[in-house]
Every structure is written in C-alpha cells, then in structure tokens.
Amino acid sequence: MLNFRKFKNGTKAEVDEQLKQEKDEYPNRIAYGFGISYEHPGTFILSYIRSTNPHHEFVAIHPKGFKFRKQIFENIELLVSYFQNHINDNVALAKSSIKVGSVSDSLSGGWRNSNVDQHTESNGISRTLKVLYFDAFNLFNICP
C-alpha cells in the first residue's frame, strides 16, 4: 500500500488539501488517494473528491488482503477497480461496519467468526490484534 501510486503522505487534512489541488488542476476527474488513518492505527483511509467535498472511507488490513465496504480484495489494484466502478454506491451500510473509536472492530475485519486462533487474554485484547498493532506501528514508524 505504501508504494501504491495513489498513496499520499500526511494527515487526513493534508491529504484532503493535496486532493483539492489535484481537483483544481483536473476538475473533470475524481481525485482520490490512500493515506494512513492515524485515528484507527493499522487501517488506511481512502479519501476522494467527486465535486467539491472530500469523502473518506476506511480500508482495513486483512489476512487475505484488504477489506473495503465489507468485501475482501486480494490486492490494491482490485480494490481500486471496485471503487472506481462503485463510487456512487450507497456506502452508509458499509461505513456502519467500522465503528468510530473502535480500532479492534475495524481491524478484526470479521476475524472473530473465523478459525483464526486469537488466544484472547484476560484484558480482552487478542494476541493477534496486539501483533497487528505492533506491526502497524513499526511499519509506519508510529510511536504508540
């Protein structure tokens, strides 16, 4: 994801500003890009501008690739293709799957009902999620 051509460095606001500049240069295009979600560590955020206002959707890391709008994509190119063909779909139902302020829900990507051995510890946080957080922090050089 970090090497993807549409990956943008910066905070959500900084990415929004980059997309606004891109939209000004090419007003007939839908400006979009991926960034790191600092609000939900271990997830990415897809930001896009159709006309004037930025929109944001989460992309979760999943063992089989990426989870976006309740679907799993093996690679980023498939996710982008789906996004481009379904940009106008009603995303209200898909957004409800990621609860604001609940990183474990957005990261789990439905793993709770799968056969992944999570070894839930006494504090309720699975060892699997702890490893994901640790890997995400190391990957993005973020201090917890």
Overall average pLDDT of the 31-43 stretch: 93
Task: Return d(Cα 102, Cα 118) in angstroms, integer.
Answer: 18
pTM (2 decimals)? 0.63
In CATH, what number is assigned to the domain containing residue 18?
Answer: 3.30.505.10
* Contact between residue 95 and residue 57 where contact means Cβ atoms under 8 Å apart: yes
For residues 28 and 92, the model is more confident at: 28
Taken in order 35, 104, 129, 61, the sign of the CA dihedral is negative
Q: How many domains is the chain partitioned into structurally?
A: 1
* pLDDT confidence of residue 86: 95
Any domain includes 1: no
Q: Is residue 121 part of a domain?
A: yes
d(CA 21, CA 92): 27
Say if 3 falls within a structural domain: no
Q: Where in the chain does DSSP place strands (E)? A: 31-36, 43-49, 54-62, 65-68, 71-73
- Give the burial class of 118: count Cβ atoms within 10 A of its Cβ; 0-12 exposed, 13-18 middle, 19 or more buried: middle
Answer yes or no: is 22 within a domain: yes
2 is a domain residue: no
Q: What is the pLDDT of residue 92?
A: 60
Angle at 24 between CA 94 and CA 90, to 5 degrees: 15
Range 50-62 average pLDDT: 94
Domain membership of residue 30 (yes or no) is: yes
* Residue 1 confidence class, pLDDT cut points 50, 70, 90: confident
Task: Give the per-residue pLDDT at 95.
Answer: 53
Inside any domain, residue 131? yes
- Would residue 4 count as lying in a domain? no
Average pLDDT on 64-74 reads: 96
Please give the residue range of the domain that contains residue 60. Answer: 12-109+116-140
